[in-house]
Chain A
Amino acid sequence: MIKRPFLGWFVSPAGLVALGLTAAMAAVFQFSLRVYIPGSLDVGGFTLQNFAAMLRPLYALAFWNTILLCFETAASTLILAYPLAYALVRTRSSAVRSFILIAAVTPLFLGEVVRTYSWMIVLGNNGFLNTLLVKLGFVERPVQMMFTAGGVIAALVHVTMPIMVIMLAAGLSHIDRNCEKAAESLGAGPIRVFLTITLPLSMPGIVAGFSTAFAWTFSAFATPQLIGGGRVSTVSTLIYQLGFSSFNFPFAASLSIIGLALSLAVIALLKQATRPLERLASAT
C-alpha cells in the first residue's frame, strides 16, 4: 500500500460539500412526506398524499410537457452541435478549431440571467429577430416568439450547446480514422462511411451529450420562467410557484423528488440504449 499522507486533507473539502448535499437531499425527501398545513410554514405528520396528488392531470401534464421540452431541446442541440463538433475534431486549420471552440464554449461563461435577458431582446415582438423579419418583408406582423415553447427551446439550446459540442467532440476524436479509410477502400462513399462507421462509433458521445443536455434542461429554471413567462410550465417553474408563492413546501419537495427520479431514469434508459442504437445505425 502506497502512503498518501495528504489524501485525507485533499478529499475533505469535497467530502464536506458531498455531505451538505446529501443532507439537503435528505431534508427535501423528508419534506416530501409531510402534510401541508395551509397558511403555515410548519408541516404536519407523515403522509404519501403528495405523491398521489401528482397523478392529477394538471401535474402529470407538467411532467409530460417538461420531458417533451427536454427531448426537443436535446435533439435540437444534438443536430446543431454535431456538425460543429465534427468540424472541431476534423479540421486541419488551428484557426478554425480555435474559433469553433471559443464560439461553442462562450455560453458557459455567461450568467444565466444575462443570457436569458439577451434572448428576450432577440425574441421579443419588437426584438432583433422580429424587426429583421418585418424589415426584410418575410412577415407582415411580428411573430410571437416570447412566451412560447419554441422561444424557450431556442434559449435552452444555447445553454446546452457547449456541453454537447464538447462531449460529441470527445466521442468523435476517439474514432479510429483508419476504420473510415478501410470502409472507403471497400467501396463506401462519404455518406455511407458517415452513416455506417462514423455515426455508430460516435454513439457513446451522442448518448452522453444527449443525456447531459436532457438533465440540464430538466432542471433549468430562469430560462423557462422568464422566456416562458408563466405560459410554458415546466416541473421547475411549478416547484417554484408551489414552494415560493403558495409556500406548499411538502408538495414542492415531492415534485422535486419525482423530477430527480424521472431524469435519472431517462439517463439510465439512454445509457442502456447505446448498444442497440449502435447496432441500428450499423445495420444499414
Chain B
Amino acid sequence: MLMHTDRMGATAGSEAGRQGQPAVQLDGVTKRFGNSVALHEAWLKIQPGEFMTLLGPSGCGKTTLLNLVAGFLEADGGEIFIEGTLVTETPAHQREIGIVFQNYALFPHMSVANNIAYGLKTRGIDRKQIARRVDEALALVRLDGFGDRKPRQLSGGQQQRVALARALVIKPKVLLLDEPFSALDKNLRGSMQVELKQIQRELGVTTIFVTHDQGEALSMSDRIAVMSAGRIRQIAAPGDVYRRPADRFVASFVGNVNVLAGRLVERRGEVATVSVGDMRLEVPAAPLAKLAIGDDVDVFIRPEHLAVTSGRTPGSLCGTVTTQVFQGDHIDLYIDITGVARAPVLLRAPGIAALSSCPAGADVGLTVGSDDVVAFPPEAREP
C-alpha cells in the first residue's frame, strides 16, 4: 500500500503547498439559471490536501459549485483558481480534475482496466506505463485481478472503487466526489467512507466532497462548507460547525437540536446571557447584536447537552416525559416543557439508567450541562 502511495501519492497538491497557493480558490463565483440564482457569490479557499465537504439540502447549490470547479458549467461572475492558475474559462478536459459521480458513470462498453486507463490514454502515456499504473490503481482500491471484468459484472461497492481508481490514476489536482455513497446500502457505506478517507489521506489529494448527509460530512471532513439557497452559510471544521453554528439554518441542519423560546437578559462583550424559563444560559453575543435587552430569542440546545436532575433544583426547567425511546446505547426522552418549547424537547440520556428513572408521564427537572448553547433572533427578525 505504501509503495503505491509513493508513486501515486506525489499529487500536485503537495507541489502547490510549497508555492503557498490554495489548491482551489473561488472568488465571488456566481451562477444563474434563467432568473434563479443557483450560486450566490461563493468565496472559498481550499488548502492542498484538504478534505472539504459541501453540505446542504438538495437545491442548495452544492452540485452547481462542484460542476463549476469541474468546468461542466460556466460561471456568470467571479473567478476560479486551481493551484493559483486562473481556470474560469478553461474547458473541463484541460483542468486535470478527477471526479466520482453518484452513479459512478463507468464506461459500460470498456473493461475495468480500460476504464482506468482512459485518462492515461488521453495523456498519450506509453502502453507499458499505462499497464503498470492501472495495476497500481487497482491495487490501491483492492481490486487486483478485476481488470478484465466489465463494469456490469461488479457490485455497487466495486464499481465505486473502479470509479475512484479511474479518477485518482491521473493524479488529479483536485478530486471531486458527487454524493458517492448515496447509492450504497448502509453497511457498505460506512466501510467505503473509512476506506475513501484512508486513501485520501495517504495520497494527500485535495478533495471536494458533496453530500446532503450531515453524518458523512461530520465524520469525514477537514472542513465543512454548509450551504443553503445558493449561499455558503458557514465554513468551519466539523466540530466548530456543530458546536458554534453561524446561523439558525446551520444549527438546525447539522445534527439534532431543540429550539427553546428565551429572552435576552444581558450583554457583556462577546458573551450574552439569555433566560429560558427560570434557567440562565451564556451564549455567543455576536448573532444577537441587533437585539435590545428584553427581546425574544430562540435558544438552540443539542439533545446530548440536556440532563435530567433529580428533584427541583433552582434554575432548572420543569417538564413531563411524554415518550421514551430505547436506542441501545442511549435513551431518547421526549419532554413536554409548556411555555418554552412548541414541540416536545429531545433529551439524549446516555446509558440505560433513564429507562427506569424517567418513565413516560414522570415530572422531571432539566439542566444544561454544556457551554455549547447558541441563540439567534426569532425567525421573522432574521434578514
Name A165-203 residues within 8 Å CB distance of B: 176, 178-179, 181-190, 192-193, 196-197, 200-201
Q: Which of A183, A185, A188, A282 has the most CB of B within 10 A?
A: A185
Cβ of B107: which chain A residues have Cβ within 8 Å of it?
179, 182-183, 197, 282
Query: Closest B-chain residue to A179, C-beta based?
Result: B105
Give a binary string over A126-137; 1 marks a CB under 8 Å from any B CB, 0 the rest: 000000000000
Q: Which of B72, B95, B96 has the most CB of A within 10 A?
A: B72
Q: Which of A188, A197, A278 contacts B93 (CB 8 A)?
A: A188
CA distance A34 to B92 in the complex (A): 68
Q: What range describes how many residues of A lie at the interface?
A: 20 to 34
B109 at the interface (CB under 8 A from A): yes
Contact A185–B103 (Cβ < 8 Å) = no
Contact A187–B101 (Cβ < 8 Å) = no
Contact B170–A186 (Cβ < 8 Å) = yes
A141 at the interface (CB under 8 A from B): no
B118 at the interface (CB under 8 A from A): yes
CA distance A176 to B107 in the complex (A): 9
Q: A176-B103, A181-B99, A181-B105 are in contact. Are A186 and B119 (CB under 8 A)?
A: yes
Query: Closest B-chain residue to A180, C-beta based?
Result: B105
Q: Which of A176, A188, A189 contacts B118 (CB 8 A)?
A: A188
A279 at the interface (CB under 8 A from B): yes
Q: Which of A179, A181, A187, A193 contacts B170 (CB 8 A)?
A: A187
Contact B72–A183 (Cβ < 8 Å) = no
CA distance A279 to B95 in the complex (A): 28
Would you give the shortest CB distance from A220 to chain B, in whole angstroms?
Answer: 33
Cβ of A192: which chain B residues have Cβ within 8 Å of it?
122
CA distance A43 to B101 in the complex (A): 69
Contact A187–B122 (Cβ < 8 Å) = yes
Query: Closest A-chain residue to B176, C-beta based?
Result: A185
Q: Which of B96, B105, B114, B163 contacts A187 (CB 8 A)?
A: B96
Q: Which of A188, A189, A200 contacts B109 (CB 8 A)?
A: A200
Contact B109–A186 (Cβ < 8 Å) = no
Q: Which of B94, B99, B163, B176 has the most CB of A within 10 A?
A: B99
Cβ of A186: which chain B residues have Cβ within 8 Å of it?
93, 98, 118-119, 122, 166-167, 170
The number of chain B residues with a CB under 8 A from chain A is: 30
CA distance A185 to B170 in the complex (A): 10
B108 at the interface (CB under 8 A from A): yes
Contact B109–A278 (Cβ < 8 Å) = yes
Query: Closest A-chain residue to B108, C-beta based?
Result: A201
B70 at the interface (CB under 8 A from A): yes
CA distance A192 to B72 in the complex (A): 16
B352 at the interface (CB under 8 A from A): no
Contact A187–B103 (Cβ < 8 Å) = no
Q: A179-B107, A197-B107 are in contact. Are A184 and B101 (CB under 8 A)?
A: no
Contact B109–A282 (Cβ < 8 Å) = yes
Would you give the shortest CB distance from A161 to chain B, in whole angstroms?
Answer: 27
Query: Closest A-chain residue to B115, C-beta based?
Result: A182
B128 at the interface (CB under 8 A from A): no
Cβ of A196: which chain B residues have Cβ within 8 Å of it?
118
Cβ of A178: which chain B residues have Cβ within 8 Å of it?
101, 103, 105
Give a binary string over B134-168; 1 marks a CB under 8 Å from any A CB, 0 the rest: 00000000000000000000000000000100110
Contact A182–B105 (Cβ < 8 Å) = yes
Cβ of A187: which chain B residues have Cβ within 8 Å of it?
93-94, 96, 119, 122-123, 170
Q: Which of A176, A184, A188 has the most CB of B within 10 A?
A: A184
Q: Which of B70, B91, B98, B108 has the most CB of A within 10 A?
A: B108
Query: Closest B-chain residue to A193, C-beta based?
Result: B93
Q: Which residues of B contact A (CB under 8 A)?
A: 70-72, 91-99, 101, 103, 105-110, 114, 118-119, 122-123, 163, 166-167, 170, 176
16 interchain pairs, CB-CB under 8 A: A176-B103, A179-B108, A181-B92, A181-B105, A182-B101, A185-B92, A185-B98, A186-B119, A186-B122, A187-B119, A187-B123, A188-B93, A188-B122, A189-B91, A201-B108, A282-B109
CB-CB nearest 8 A-B residue pairs? A186-B119, A178-B105, A187-B122, A184-B92, A178-B101, A182-B105, A185-B99, A184-B93
Q: With contacts A179-B107, A282-B107 known, what are 18 further pairs, Cβ within 8 A?
A: A176-B105, A181-B72, A181-B99, A182-B163, A183-B107, A185-B70, A185-B71, A185-B167, A185-B176, A186-B118, A186-B119, A187-B94, A187-B96, A192-B122, A200-B109, A201-B108, A279-B109, A282-B109
